Amino acid sequence: MKPDSQSPILVEVLPLGGFDHALTYGAKPSIFAYLKVGSLVRVPLGLRRITGVVSSLSPQHSPPKDKLRFISALVQPEPVLNTELVRLAKWVASYYACSLENTLGAMIPASVRDGMEPKTRRMIQVIKLPAKDVSSLFKGSPKQAKAYALLKEMDDEVIDVVQWGKKEKFSSTVIEGLIKKGLVKQTFSEIHREAYADEFSQSTPSLVESIPSLTHEQKLARDQIASDLQSEKFNTRLLQGVTGSGKTEVYCQAMETVLKDGGGVLFLVPEVALAPQTVDRLRARFGRKGEEVVVWHSHLSAGERLDAWRKLARGHARIVVGARSAVFAPVQNLRLVVVDEEHEPAYKQEDSPRYQGRDVAVYRAYLNAATCLLGSATPSLETTLNVEKGKYAKSVLSQRIDGRELPLVHLVDMRREAIKQRNTPILSQSLIEALRHRYENKEQSILFLNRRGFNTTLFCTECGEVEQCRDCSIAMTYHRTDHYLHCHLCGYRKPAPRICGNCQSLEIRKKGHGTQRIEDVVESIMPKNARIVRVDADVMIKKNLFREILSDFRQGKIDVLVGTQMIAKGLDFPRVTLVGVIDADLPLRMEDFRASERAFQILVQVAGRAGRGDRAGEVYIQTYAPHESCIQFARRTELEAFLEEELEMRKELYYPPYSHLIRHVFKGRGEEKTRFYAEQWRKQLDNAQLAGVTIKGPAATPLAKLKGYYRFHLFYLSASVTRCLSQIQKVREEFPIDKEVIDFLDVDAQQVS
Ligand SMILES: [Zn+2]
Ligand SMILES: [Zn+2]
């Protein structure tokens, strides 16, 4: 719209402050000149002043002249979103059934939204004038004269005021004086704060080595990806490679191709704290070529995030590595998206917007006509099915690099061990001996506890049987309050049995072991000088402690590392020759239909930590259910056979990936009221007779009370998210809920508990 004295210029703005629809504002020509779609502006709303994103420069709606309010400021010089990211935001909001405002909140870092200024240094440069012209200016200020003389010797050099003043012992008033007299030019330069450029990065010198020669399979994968990139069309490829097969090298080669053509790269890892090696390696590889690798994750300070964001938005950096939220990073000219360990549940965001980072990554590649690479040793069933349907291509790396062997895997039957030791031991005799043997040989060991969520299911220590729901084929949860077993998908319940339904044994147990307990046991069985360190959630809270421990472990300062899932992923320790899995079937006792998939993935990942150096590795898997097929498949690393069996089971039960799972949670402070609304809602749905939607529930969540809220949930299984949501939302609009009960939807839910 042209500025004209009669009618003001109008702009459409999405306010980021409790309003979920666009509003029209006026713009003064001086501001309008700098506005683009995606610009962040400050606007008045009621009595407040809030920020908003410009969504259109030619709005449909124009408010009456006397009601029109004006944009008060432009917050950031460059737009915070480009057209592509605005489209992505709209898709995320509609697919994941969350507000556009929440989505934009997740996409634009808080420091950018708040208009934080970059940190700057004050720089000066001398303006040379002939001595006779300036001598009169220095009357009564000999210090200024001296400073000016010194500066003149430095010619055109631009210098840091604070540093120079300190070194030459001039106060700031002296320099101010020179600036005022026009003898010195003042400028500001931005300081960049960089995450992870610390001493721990230097503990991996081997990574700076020259580029390794590729195996035949790596070359093939590289060439296939190169032709994907060349097509300049959207495509997705699964890079399926056993642990230690050199997937990262294949990613690196693809990145090189993209960077050479001036493209940008988005590299996602499940959690940055778990991927310092990847970050170090990419920095070593691309840093040498003057390419900056920006790290993006939730632990960045506001300043670090602002700097990272600016570098990408301005195209000064073209590579970003980060956890799921990095999927929204403003990479320019995006040509390649890498999702490493694509099967990891950590890609799902559990708060609003509840998006699946991997799937958003694929969609973002689609919006950019870019290539998306999904890497894993144990691909998810969702991705596997997409390959089967021909939606995704696939490259396979079946061999470890340098011809290293996969480790030798022993299954230890803990039922027999329990009889032998006359109790339920934490460590089997064979694992104890293996640990001591490694210590004598100066080799390292990892002990892995597969702990996650709540261990409240019942299982038989004599036959390994777990009580399952008759309809849902998931483990039932034991509730202490009523001594009942509950199914947390459909709500079915029955009294907790006292004897095993399979073998009539009385040895039914509820609890697993914690890492602390395991550490104590390991200390008691190892020689006094052995160094044992535990890594669990408590350690992860401290920003650098985990990296410090990993660095010590890599340098051989630790003999046994005890930990949970965080030590299972992607880590490469050449001196580890023994991995012990304390309780392999723990995930099978979780109330989750993905239990087998998780158990299989974790076992393969953990086993992959052993024998990555010159020495062969050994793995001990302790289990009460050695007959379980996922454990058998994991032991022999039979990926294809496992996937085939698991897909068949999911198909039979109409679980994902054959359907989409949408979880609908009702939560409130009052238990009865919350249950009532969940049950009424189910009745409403039954009356509405939804097409193509299978409904389960309501059921109480396994942790029935969380942060003071009682929670009940329903599950919808449907082939189409869009069709399912539109029906649900229509019924929901006509269903009044008490304001003390809150409900929300979780599309493609990972958490069913
Ligand atoms: Zn039994
Ligand atoms: Zn059930």
How far is ligand 2, taken at its centre, from the CA of residue 473, in Å?
7
How far is ligand 2, taken at its centre, from the CA of residue 539, in Å?
36
Q: Which ligand has the nearest atom to the CA of 508?
A: 1
What whole-number distance in Å separates Cα of residue 214 and Cα of residue 212? 6
Residue 273 in this model has a pLDDT that exceeds 80:
no
How far is ligand 1, taken at its centre, from the CA of residue 501, in Å?
7
675-699 residue pLDDT tens: 999 999 999 999 999 999 999 999 9
Between the ranges 104-118, 137-151, 485-499, 668-682, where is the mean pLDDT highest? 668-682
Determine contact, residues 485/478, Cβ cutoff 8 Å. Answer: yes
Residue 706 in this model has a pLDDT that exceeds 90:
no
Distances from the Cα of 448 to the Cα of 456, 516, 518, 603, angstroms: 20, 12, 10, 10
Determine contact, residues 241/267, Cβ cutoff 8 Å. Answer: no
How far is ligand 2, taken at its centre, from the CA of residue 497, in Å?
17
Residue 250 is predicted with a pLDDT of 96
Spatial CB neighbours of 290, under 8 Å, sequence gap ≥ 6: none
362-414 residue pLDDT tens: 999 999 999 999 999 999 999 999 999 999 999 999 998 877 777 888 999 98
The better pLDDT of the pair 748, 508 is held by: 748
The amino acid sitting at 312 is L
What whole-number distance in Å separates Cα of residue 197 and Cα of residue 326? 19
Q: Which ligand has the nearest atom to the CA of 507?
A: 1
Determine contact, residues 13/42, Cβ cutoff 8 Å. Answer: no
- H-type helices in 129-262, by residue range? 131-135, 142-153, 161-168, 172-180, 216-231, 247-260
How far is ligand 1, taken at its centre, from the CA of residue 484, in Å?
18
Task: State the Cα angle at 236 between 233 and 242, rounded to 5°.
Answer: 145
Residue 543 is predicted with a pLDDT of 62
Q: Which ligand has the nearest atom to the CA of 698?
A: 2
Q: Positive or negative CA dihedral for 39, 42, 45, 50?
A: positive
* Cα dihedral 210/213/217/222 (nearest 10): 60
Residue 305 in this model has a pLDDT that exceeds 80:
yes
How far is ligand 1, taken at its centre, from the CA of residue 462, in Å?
5
How far is ligand 2, taken at its centre, from the CA of residue 466, in Å?
14
How far is ligand 2, taken at its centre, from the CA of residue 474, in Å?
7
Task: Name which of 80, 83, 65, 70 is nearest 31 in CA terms.
Answer: 70
Between the ranges 15-24, 115-124, 313-322, 461-470, where is the mean pLDDT highest? 313-322
Residue 512 is predicted with a pLDDT of 56
Residue 205 in this model has a pLDDT that exceeds 50:
no
Residue 714 in this model has a pLDDT that exceeds 50:
yes
How far is ligand 2, taken at its centre, from the CA of residue 490, in Å?
4
Residue 87 in this model has a pLDDT that exceeds 70:
yes
The amino acid sitting at 680 is Q
Task: Classify 9 as helix, strand or coil.
Answer: strand
The H or E element that residue 158 is part of is: none
593-623 residue pLDDT tens: 898 998 898 888 888 877 776 677 899 999 9
Q: Which two tokens stand for residue 597?
A: 């998939």
End-to-end Cα, the chain, rounded Å: 52
632-655 residue pLDDT tens: 998 888 999 999 999 999 999 999
Side-chain-facing half-sphere of 166: CA atoms under 13 Å? 5
How far is ligand 1, taken at its centre, from the CA of residue 507, in Å?
7
What whole-number distance in Å separates Cα of residue 45 and Cα of residue 42? 10
Task: Name which of 533, 171, 106 is nearest 328 in CA terms.
Answer: 106
The amino acid sitting at 549 is I
Residue 346 in this model has a pLDDT that exceeds 80:
yes
How far is ligand 1, taken at its centre, from the CA of residue 499, in Å?
8
Side-chain-facing half-sphere of 200: CA atoms under 13 Å? 19
Residue 311 in this model has a pLDDT that exceeds 50:
yes
Task: Classify 405 as helix, strand or coil.
Answer: coil
Confidence of residue 206 (pLDDT cuts 50, 70, 90): very low
Percent of all residues in the chain with a pLDDT value above 70, rounded to a whole number: 91
The better pLDDT of the pair 9, 298 is held by: 9
Q: Which two tokens stand for residue 121?
A: 């240094």
Lowest mean per-residue pLDDT among 190-199, 407-416, 420-429: 190-199
Q: Which two tokens stand for residue 444?
A: 């390292």
Residue 705 in this model has a pLDDT that exceeds 80:
no
Strand order across the beta sheet in which 484-486 lies: 477-479, 484-486, 493-495
Residue 146 is predicted with a pLDDT of 87
Between the ranges 186-190, 387-391, 613-617, 748-752, where is the mean pLDDT highest? 387-391
Q: Which ligand has the nearest atom to the CA of 493?
A: 2
Residue 443 is predicted with a pLDDT of 92
Residue 456 is predicted with a pLDDT of 62
What whole-number distance in Å separates Cα of residue 342 and Cα of residue 3? 50
Residue 173 in this model has a pLDDT that exceeds 80:
yes
How far is ligand 2, taken at its centre, from the CA of residue 478, in Å?
14
Task: State the Cα angle at 680 between 675 and 684, rounded to 5°.
Answer: 150
Q: Which ligand has the nearest atom to the CA of 497?
A: 1
Q: Which ligand has the nearest atom to the CA of 463?
A: 1
Angle between helices 83-95 and 357-367 (to 10 degrees): 140
**In Å, how far from its chain's centre is CA 648?**
29
Lowest mean per-residue pLDDT among 123-127, 477-481, 548-552: 477-481
What whole-number distance in Å separates Cα of residue 435 and Cα of residue 718? 49
Distances from the Cα of 368 to the Cα of 190, 505, 717, angstroms: 31, 60, 31
Q: Which ligand has the nearest atom to the CA of 465?
A: 1
Confidence of residue 128 (pLDDT cuts 50, 70, 90): confident
Residue 213 in this model has a pLDDT that exceeds 80:
yes
Residue 511 is predicted with a pLDDT of 56
Q: Which ligand has the nearest atom to the CA of 462?
A: 1
Q: Which ligand has the nearest atom to the CA of 464?
A: 1
Residue 203 is predicted with a pLDDT of 41
Residue 664 is predicted with a pLDDT of 96
Residue 661 is predicted with a pLDDT of 96
Residue 438 in this model has a pLDDT that exceeds 80:
yes
Residue 429 is predicted with a pLDDT of 93
Residue 358 is predicted with a pLDDT of 98
Q: Which ligand has the nearest atom to the CA of 418?
A: 1
Lowest mean per-residue pLDDT among 166-180, 226-240, 548-562, 635-649: 166-180
Confidence of residue 56 (pLDDT cuts 50, 70, 90): confident
Q: Which ligand has the nearest atom to the CA of 467?
A: 1
Residue 76 is predicted with a pLDDT of 80
Q: Which two tokens stand for residue 712?
A: 């009940």
How far is ligand 1, taken at its centre, from the CA of residue 654, in Å?
29
Task: Classify 271 as helix, strand or coil.
Answer: coil
Q: Which ligand has the nearest atom to the CA of 499?
A: 1
Residue 244 is predicted with a pLDDT of 84
Return the bridge partners of 334, or none: 264
What whole-number distance in Å separates Cα of residue 243 and Cα of residue 261? 30
How far is ligand 2, taken at its centre, from the CA of residue 724, in Å?
21
Lowest mean per-residue pLDDT among 350-354, 383-387, 457-461: 457-461
Residue 118 is predicted with a pLDDT of 65
How far is ligand 1, taken at its centre, from the CA of residue 459, in Å?
8
What whole-number distance in Å separates Cα of residue 359 and Cα of residue 365? 10
How far is ligand 1, taken at its centre, from the CA of residue 410, in Å?
23
Residue 257 in this model has a pLDDT that exceeds 90:
yes
Task: Name which of 526, 562, 578, 581 is nearest 412 in CA terms.
Answer: 581
How far is ligand 1, taken at its centre, from the CA of residue 508, in Å?
8
How far is ligand 1, taken at its centre, from the CA of residue 442, in Å?
41
How far is ligand 1, taken at its centre, from the CA of residue 588, in Å?
15
Residue 191 in this model has a pLDDT that exceeds 80:
no
How far is ligand 2, taken at its centre, from the CA of residue 605, in Å?
30
276-304 residue pLDDT tens: 778 888 988 998 888 999 998 777 888 88
How far is ligand 1, taken at its centre, from the CA of residue 384, in Å?
34
**In Å, how far from its chain's centre is CA 187?**
39
